[in-house]
């Protein structure tokens, strides 16, 4: 028997017994193992996300510095939300497209970009259209009508709500009566379009949880609710900062029965990644105890971290707390 034939038969026997593997087989097995590991990691990530009782969205105000400076454009917000942060829900702010409420070409482009990036449009936060708690009847009616176009824009985009402000000048009782009238009027207009009108604790009387929850109770409409914010409980500001601050935990607890969304406000973080102004574990336990299972929006307003890093830190904290609370 020739040497070459003997070697061939020996290698064949070894190959059949699994002792010699070709580079192709080795690479194929390695590739299958890597693919399996990636699939397992993906399943684990999905399982962890599913274990949280809420979904994470991104409030556009978290990027207000970049947007106002022109570093990024409003139309790019959906792609940035998904690609930079892995977040799949967006909360728009009308200040960044304030002249586009009736521009269906522009809104259509924005809607398409949400769809193309697998992002769900949730809310348009409305500022600069007048106080719905204004005690001047004519000015309040003007403010009411100013909000109609944003209800229509929210419907067009596929959002579930517009966030409005209930501020006004006067006594707490006078502004409450005005807010009941103004909010009720916008909610009535929005009802047939299946759009919610939600009020954030956003300074003044609205940062008093008892006051705002009473407004909601008296309006008594299913599509008129609240957007509890973890950090906006300053009722009165002075030269040296907040002079009258409502207890944030009590405030969120009072507003949660009417909540259609939740805003996770953040400013600063310690070395452990916890927010230094708000106990997120305590706050999210309040949210969970209220039976809320919707979206919780990242709203970073700090300055120690840049906007991108602050968003990521807030998201990481919500994920940590969400997994702990199950």
pLDDT in tens, 295-326: 999 999 999 999 999 999 999 999 999 999 98
Mean pLDDT along residues 269-278: 98
Q: In whole numbers, what is the pLDDT of the chain averaged over residues?
A: 89
Q: Residue 31: its pLDDT value, please?
A: 52
Tell whether 29 is covered by a domain.
Answer: no
Tell whether 17 is covered by a domain.
Answer: no
Mean pLDDT along residues 79-100: 98
What is the SS3 assignment for the chain? CCHHHHHHHHHHHHHHCCCCCCHHHHHHHHHHHHHHHHHHHHHHHHHHHHHCCCEEEEEHHHHHHHHHHCCCCHHHHHHHHHHHHCCCEEEEEHHHHCCCCCCHHHHHHHHHHHHHCCCEEEEEECCCCCCCCCCCHHHHHHHHHHCHHHHHHHHHHCCCEEEECCCCCCCHHHHHHHHHHHHHHHHHHHHCCCCEEEEECCCHHHHCHHHHHHHHHHHCCCCEEEECECCCCEEEEECCEEEEECCHHHHHHHHHHHECCEEEEECCECCCCCECCCCHHHHHHHHHHCCCCCEEEEEECCCCCCHHHHHHHHHHHHHHHHHHHC
Mean pLDDT along residues 265-286: 98
pLDDT above 80 (res 292): yes
Mean pLDDT along residues 101-107: 98
Q: Residue 52: its pLDDT value, please?
A: 96
Tell whether 45 is covered by a domain.
Answer: no
Q: Is 52 exposed, middle or buried (0-12, 13-18, 19+ CB in 10 A)?
A: buried
Report the number of distinct structural domains present in the chain: 1
pLDDT above 80 (res 127): yes
pLDDT above 60 (res 6): no
Q: Residue 146: its pLDDT value, please?
A: 98
Q: Residue 36: its pLDDT value, please?
A: 53
Q: Residue 240: its pLDDT value, please?
A: 87
The pLDDT tens digits for 238-264 are 988 899 999 999 999 999 999 999 999
- The tokens of 230 are what? 């973890």
Range(s) of the domain holding residue 76 = 51-325
Tell whether 8 is covered by a domain.
Answer: no
Q: What is the pTM of this model?
A: 0.85
Tell whether 38 is covered by a domain.
Answer: no
Q: Residue 51: its pLDDT value, please?
A: 85
Mean pLDDT along residues 153-182: 97
How far is residue 257 CA from its own chain's centroid?
Answer: 19
Which residue(s) pair with 55 in the sheet?
A: 295
Tell whether 31 is covered by a domain.
Answer: no
Q: Residue 35: its pLDDT value, please?
A: 53
The pLDDT tens digits for 13-72 are 434 444 444 444 444 444 555 555 545 544 555 555 558 999 999 999 999 999 999 999
The residue that leads in pLDDT, 31 or 188, is: 188
Q: Check which CATH number belongs to the domain holding 290 and give it.
A: 3.20.20.150
């Amino acid at each position: 028997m020739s040497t070459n034939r003997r070697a061939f038969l020996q290698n064949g026997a070894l190959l059949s017994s699994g002792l010699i593997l070709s580079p192709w087989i080795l690479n194929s097995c390695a590739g299958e193992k890597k693919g399996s590991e990636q699939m397992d990691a993906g399943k684990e990530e999905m399982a962890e996300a599913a274990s949280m009782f809420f979904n994470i969205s991104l409030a556009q105000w978290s990027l207000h510095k970049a947007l106002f400076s022109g570093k990024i454009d409003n139309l790019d917000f959906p792609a940035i939300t998904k690609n930079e942060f892995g977040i799949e829900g967006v909360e728009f702010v009308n200040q960044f497209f304030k002249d586009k409420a009736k521009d269906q070409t522009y809104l259509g482009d924005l809607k398409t970009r949400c769809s193309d990036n697998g992002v769900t449009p949730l809310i348009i936060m409305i500022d600069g259209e007048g106080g719905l708690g204004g005690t001047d009847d004519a000015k309040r009616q003007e403010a009411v009508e100013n909000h109609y176009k944003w209800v229509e824009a929210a419907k067009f985009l596929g959002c579930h709500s517009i966030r409005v402000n209930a501020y006004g000048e006067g006594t707490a009782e006078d502004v409450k009566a005005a807010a009941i009238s103004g909010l009720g009027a916008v909610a009535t207009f929005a009802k047939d379009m299946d759009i919610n009108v939600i009020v954030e604790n956003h300074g003044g009387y609205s940062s008093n949880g008892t006051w705002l929850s009473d407004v909601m109770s008296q309006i008594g409409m299913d599509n008129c609710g609240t957007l509890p914010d973890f950090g906006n409980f300053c009722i009165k500001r002075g030269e040296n900062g907040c002079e009258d601050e409502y207890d944030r935990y009590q405030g969120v607890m009072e507003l949660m029965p009417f909540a259609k969304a939740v805003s996770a406000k953040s400013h600063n973080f310690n070395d452990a990644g916890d927010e230094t102004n708000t106990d997120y574990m305590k706050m999210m336990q309040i949210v969970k105890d209220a039976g809320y299972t919707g979206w919780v929006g990242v709203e970073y307003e700090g300055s120690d971290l840049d906007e991108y890093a602050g968003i990521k830190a807030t998201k990481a904290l919500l994920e940590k707390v969400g997994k702990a609370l199950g």
